[in-house]
């Protein structure tokens, strides 16, 4: 959720990433991340093809302490741990671009098309 220090890995280091990744960020996180530059820069340079990023539009970094966004984050985290990390295919749809598109206050980013 917090990308501070991502510069330590650099483009080459991020390219070595070889595990599924789900990034969850607040689009208005002014604490240490600029949504339009740093988070997308990091996301686009990850070597792992099984990755996704969900932006909670209009939310700050501290949304983790707000019950509604925290519950929604828990949904995506549960689906992520169940599907790519535990191989439970029945959870795949719950952290997909199609699922996220149902909500006007969320935005999905997936890997670039090959």
Predicted confidence (pLDDT) per residue in 37-53, tens digit: 777 888 888 888 888 88
**99 domain residue, yes or no:** yes
- The per-residue pLDDT for 31 is 61
Q: Give domain status of residue 6, yes or no.
A: no
Q: Flag whether 11 is in a domain.
A: no
**Does residue 13 belong to any structural domain of this protein?**
no
Residues 6+ apart with CB under 8 A from 63: 26, 56, 69, 70, 73
Residue 15, pLDDT > 70, answer yes
Q: What residues pair up with 21 in beta bridges, in sequence order?
A: 51
- Residue 27 structural domain: 20-109
pLDDT, tens digit, for every residue of 24-80? 988 887 665 566 677 788 888 888 888 888 999 999 888 989 999 999 999 999 999
The pLDDT mean for the chain works out to 84
* 73 within some domain: yes
Give the residue, 38 or 12, on which the prediction is more confident. Answer: 12
Q: How many domains does the chain have?
A: 1
Q: Is residue 27 part of a domain?
A: yes
């Amino acid at each position: 959720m917090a990308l501070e220090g991502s510069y330590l890995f650099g483009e080459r280091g991020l390219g070595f990433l070889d595990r599924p990744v789900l990034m969850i960020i607040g689009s208005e996180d002014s604490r240490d991340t600029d949504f339009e530059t740093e988070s997308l820069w990091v996301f686009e340079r990850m070597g792992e093809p099984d990755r996704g990023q969900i932006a909670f539009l209009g939310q700050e970094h501290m949304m983790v302490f707000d019950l509604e966004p925290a519950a929604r984050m828990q949904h995506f985290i549960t689906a992520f741990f169940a599907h790519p990390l535990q191989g439970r295919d029945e959870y795949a749809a719950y952290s997909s671009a199609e699922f996220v598109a149902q909500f006007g206050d969320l935005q999905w980013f997936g890997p670039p098309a090959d």
